[in-house]
A and B are shown apart, each in its own frame.
Chain A
């Protein structure tokens, strides 16, 4: 080999390495036929949403729309918003993405605002709107949290029916503890979000029940986290910990480990979003899992829920029409919706949609609980899960998770934690 050819080879190899080093995500999959417009689609994986789930869902759409080719990108963790920001900063923003927080990604600049005519099939076409514009398809409803419980442990502790008032919840916790069961499984770990579920519940009962637009007021500066109602919500969580109803050591468990802790019987009650129903139904103990809404002090029905969570499209996509077409087709495809119900226990908020037959008992109970509260008009927003104009400011979600852990672990009083949240809010504003 001549010197020139060796040099050329070296340069080519160097270039290949350089380009390889700059390629987005190692875990990419192409789907679709050879021709047509190619779009990138950012997904994320969880115990419910496996690689096979995404590949099959994408293929279903590309088989119907052969003019679209999809390159799947996978966020390295459940924090798809953080990864989307990295991709945006490096000029590799995906054409289509799932459940990326619009408020944190600069929706007005970077995301396509869906037109009312495109949202005709959705039950809540203005769900998650930011300044009146919808950037994320309002595809699903999730109830956050439900309280999943082990029926056998309740029976063993002499609890004959799920609690309907907060006093009954505390009474049940005391009975469970007396029988040697940890009443609540509350995790955290690297994702931290499993810690916030009790606070989402107590904010619903103590704050949102009285002021449904509390977060809008917080954004306007009319209320603060140090307001007595919010401090009380934090205090209730603190009290569960100080009474030994939450095992502080479980705060180190990440989401998957927290779920396993409940399924393995390390606790009797598990405050978690409705998506847990999918894992519950896949488990061996599905017949032993029941569900109830976190009770209010006076027993009035209340259930926090969030509607949104769907696909978003980059406003600067080179193949904007293909991206929009794919996103809408993906979200409205009956088979995809059915699979989202089976795999992630989502409640599709699509007109005329009803879940498929033969779903497990945990999903059915969770779905019925939601339906009951929809009929009773007792749905409120789920604190820290909002994504529209009523969401926390960018960066605040992590601070809320940390504040919840602070009160659970006794690292801060509820008053101090609330004060810190106000400080962080003023920095983020």
Chain B
């Protein structure tokens, strides 16, 4: 028997009568009662701030300058010639690519190794998950010390005769060091999500594939890989958003440096511009561009990745 895995079927169009019944007064009442609290919270704490930001982004608002003027789309035009913002987009893109690829690949490999029963494997799962629950500030402080000029890693390299490396001081290396730290912390999340995906794969499919003569690689390619697709989708989208929002690690480890903008992500530049330079109108425009990029990237990733998800 060959495992038959169908790609997710398109949702059948509901008959018009059914659609009409969905919006009967009784349904509406139920919807209102159950959805209203959530909608209220979402409206107050998500939609309203976004709308307020849109308003600010069309002004030169500075909390310490009483003369706020409407500037139209000037802030948005400036963004695309602003070297600092463009550099931050490049930094964020590099960080995002690393953070999407590295924990996903390593996470899947580790999950495959840990997808077994027993206290030994449970203990290892806990080991990999611990960094996820640690405060990012704590993780940043620990890694800053490890990667410091006179830190443990350079001392080991020194003993090995390799010589010390400017992990956080060399502009060409610092961003990758930062990406490594973030990937290390998020690895456990990817492992757990992949483990959940792997444990939902029916054993019968592996048995059937084995009977058909499939080796380990073929079983992975034809059974495991298609069925962990939802886990890949979740991990990719979460890593994408994590990378775009990256701020706290940067603040603690490099403060955007060394030098100008070496590790300054969009989120970091937004906060610096808004709360250090006090240019909150301009920072709002940056934040909204960032929102559009995250939303677009997430939607595209979801669309592309869900295409290859399968249903049993």
Interface 1/0 per residue, A363-402 and B, CB below 8 Å: 0000000000000000000000000000000111011011
Q: B-facing mask of A130-141, CB < 8 A → 1, else 0?
A: 000000000000
Check A45 for interface membership: any CB of B closer than 8 A: no
State which of A52-60, A311-319, A404-412 sits at the interface with chain B.
Answer: A404-412
B252 touches A190 (CB 8 A): yes
A249 touches B275 (CB 8 A): no
The distance in angstroms between the C-alpha atoms of A405 and B259, with both chains bound, is 5
Minimum CB–CB distance for A249 against chain B, Å: 4
For B251, the chain A residues whose CB sits under 8 A away are: 190
Tell me the bound Cα distance from A428 to B150 in angstroms: 37
User: Which of B169, B277, B278 meets A248, CB within 8 Å?
Assistant: B169
A398 pairs with B272, CB closer than 8 A? yes
Tell me if B277 and A395 are in contact (CB < 8 A): yes
In the bound complex, do residue B171 and residue A395 qualify as a contact, i.e. CB atoms below 8 Å apart? no
B252 surroundings in chain A (CB, below 8 A): 190
Q: CA A253 – CA B148 in complex, angstroms? A: 7
**Shortest CB distance B12–A (Å):** 43
Stretch binding the partner chain, chosen from B2-10, B160-168, B300-308: B160-168
Q: Which residue of A lies closest to B84 (CB)?
A: A424
Name the residue of chain A whose CB is nearest to the CB of B275.
Answer: A85
- State whether the Cβ of B255 lies closer than 8 Å to any Cβ in chain A: yes
Chain B positions within 8 Å of A109 at CB level: 64, 66
Residue of A105, A192, A251, A417 with highest tally of chain B CB at under 10 A: A251
User: Number of contacting residues on A, CB 8 A?
Assistant: 45
Bound complex: CA of A252 vs CA of B252, how far in Å?
12
Query: Known contacts being A252-B149, A409-B169, A423-B83, is A399 close to B260, with CB within 8 Å?
Result: yes
Given the complex of chains A and B, what is the CA–CA distance between A82 and B256 in angstroms?
16
- Is A394 a contact of B278 with CB atoms below 8 Å? yes
Complex-state Cα separation, A377 to B147, whole angstroms: 45
Nearest chain B residue, comparing its CB with the CB of A397:
B276
- If A249-B169, A405-B258, A405-B259 touch, whether A395 touches B273 (CB-CB below 8 Å) is yes
Q: Is the CB of B149 within 8 A of A253?
A: yes
Q: Choose one: B64, B83, B84, B148; the contact of A252 (CB below 8 Å).
A: B148
Q: By the criterion CB–CB under 8 Å, are B260 and A411 in contact? A: yes
Contact A428 B275 (CB under 8 A): no
Nearest-CB residue, chain A, relative to B253:
A190
In the complex, what residue of chain B is closest to A405 when comparing beta carbons? B259
How far is B256's CA from A191's CA once the two chains are assembled, in angstroms? 10
Query: Which of A250, A395, A405 is B278 in contact with, Cβ under 8 Å?
Result: A395
Contact, CB under 8 Å: B260 / A406: yes
- Closest residue of chain B to A81 (Cβ to Cβ) is B276
B140-182 contact mask (Cβ, 8 Å, vs A): 1 or 0: 0000100111100000000000001011111100100000000
The verdict on B262 contacting chain A, using a C-beta distance below 8 Å, is yes
A409 to B263, CA, bound (A): 14
CA distance A203 to B296 in the complex (A): 47
The answer to the question of B254 belonging to the interface, with a C-beta cut-off of 8 Å to chain A, is yes
Interchain CA distance A408-B259 in the complex, whole Å: 9
Please name all residues of chain A whose beta carbon is closer than 8 Å to the beta carbon of B144 when the two chains form the complex: 189-190, 254
Contact indicator A420/B276 (Cβ below 8 Å): no
**Is A106 located at the chain interface by the 8 A CB criterion?**
yes
Q: Indicate which residue in A249, A401, A412 contacts B149 across the interface (CB closer than 8 Å).
A: A249
Alpha-carbon distance between A199 and B136 when the two chains are bound, in angstroms: 33
Instruction: Judge whether A106 and B255 touch: CB under 8 Å.
Output: no
Q: How far is the CB of B61 from chain A (nearest CB, A)?
A: 12
| A247 and B154 alpha carbons, distance in the complex (Å) | 15
**Is the Cβ of B170 less than 8 Å from the Cβ of A248?**
yes
Which residues of A have CB within 8 Å of B55? none
Does B279 lie within 8 Å of A420, measured CB to CB?
no
Query: Do residues B170 and A409 form an inter-chain contact, with CB atoms below 8 A?
Result: yes
Instruction: Select which of B170, B257, B278 is within 8 A of A188 by beta carbon.
Output: B257
User: Is B63 located at the chain interface by the 8 A CB criterion?
Assistant: yes
Tell whether, in the assembled complex, residue B279 and residue A411 are in contact, meaning their CB atoms are under 8 Å apart.
no
Complex Cα spacing A190 to B164, Å? 20
Q: Are B259 and A106 in touch, CB under 8 angstroms?
A: no
Across-interface contacts of A86 in B (CB, < 8 A): 275
Q: Does A403 contact B (CB under 8 A)?
A: yes
A249 pairs with B272, CB closer than 8 A: no
Look across to chain A and name the residue whose beta carbon is closest to the beta carbon of B264: A402
B261: interface (CB < 8 Å):
yes
| Across-interface contacts of B273 in A (CB, < 8 A) | 395
Contacts of A188 in B (CB 8 A): 169, 257-258
B259/A409 in contact, CB under 8 A = yes
Question: Looking at B63, B82, B164, B279, which has the most chain A CB atoms within 10 Å of its CB?
Answer: B63
Segment 187-226 of A: residues with Cβ below 8 Å from B: 188-192
Give the distance in Å from the alpha carbon of A108 to the alpha carbon of B168 in the complex. 40
Q: Are B63 and A402 in contact (CB under 8 A)?
A: no
| Separation of A406 and B260 alpha carbons in the complex (Å) | 6
Given A106-B64, A252-B258, A411-B259: A398 in contact with B276 (beta carbons within 8 A): yes
How far does the Cβ of A246 sit from chain B's closest Cβ, in whole Å? Answer: 11
Contact sample, A vs B, 22 pairs, CB 8 Å cutoff: A82-B276, A89-B63, A89-B275, A104-B276, A106-B63, A109-B64, A188-B258, A190-B144, A190-B254, A249-B164, A252-B168, A252-B254, A399-B260, A401-B257, A402-B260, A403-B260, A409-B169, A409-B171, A409-B258, A411-B171, A423-B83, A427-B277
Assuming A252-B167, A252-B168, A395-B279, what are 4 further A-B pairs, CB within 8 angstroms? A188-B169, A257-B148, A394-B278, A396-B277
Closest 7 A-B residue pairs measured CB to CB?
A395-B277, A106-B64, A252-B168, A252-B169, A406-B259, A251-B169, A402-B260
Residues on A lying within 8 angstroms of B by beta carbon are: 82, 85-86, 88-89, 104-106, 109-110, 188-192, 247-254, 257, 261, 266, 394-396, 398-399, 401-403, 405-406, 409, 411-412, 417, 420, 423-424, 427-428
